[in-house]
Amino acid sequence: MGHIMNRRRAIEAAGQNLVAQGAWFVAQTKPRKEQQAFEHLKRQGFVPFLPKMERTVRHARQFKSRIEPLFPGYIFVSFGEEHARWRSVNGTLGVVCLISSGDKPQPVPDAFMQYIVACTDAEGLLDSAVSEYDKGQSVKIQAGPFAGMTAEVKDIDGPGRVHLLLEVMGREVETTISPSSLLAVG
């Protein structure tokens, strides 16, 4: 929990005020208009959050890194449920609509938002160094085709992917697994 609070202080120091005004909600955006929605929601006094990740793409035989939304087509926005202006989010440039259940917006679980905020830096960029596992650490695979095998953490690629080295039939094999399928050994 201390890690989350330190990350939140760093975000606030960088000028991105992520102090929620209430619960967090998800707004669907128009294709590739997440940044436009972010700016317009901020101008209206809402607290938007757009987590991003660095992605390497191959184009014309070259590799280029790009910053892209972690959840393309969606942005998080905070406001009090009783907030009379929540309907104005649907009319914001770049926004299609709030994800709702019936006629009320559906809040995102607090634990999920704390995790996402903890895994991003001050600019909302996914911090690949944030993981419960360290490079070189031994882990036991709990699920999937390699369940029961012990492996070594080679690299951490964001909060959702851990690259592992494991020995299969006398050879080292690299695989990528979700951290939820792993258990630290020793």
Judge contact between 76 and 16, C-beta under 8 A: no
Q: Which helix H or strand E contains 23, and what residues bound it?
A: strand 23-29
Whether 185 and 141 have beta carbons less than 8 Å apart is answered as no
* Planar angle of CA 126, 130, 131, nearest 5 degrees: 125
Inter-CA distances, 171 with 72, 167, 185, Å: 38, 5, 21
**Domains of the chain, start order:** 2-118 (3.30.70.940), 138-184 (2.30.30.30)
* 3-class secondary structure per residue, 111-165: HHHHHHHHCECCCCEECCCCCCCCCCCEEEECCCCCCCCEEEEEEECCCCCEEEE
User: pLDDT per residue over 116-167, tens digit each?
Assistant: 888 788 888 876 545 577 888 899 888 777 888 899 989 877 656 788 999 8
Residue 146 near residue 175, CB atoms below 8 Å: yes
pTM above threshold 0.85: no
The percent of residues above 90 in pLDDT, for the chain, comes to 31
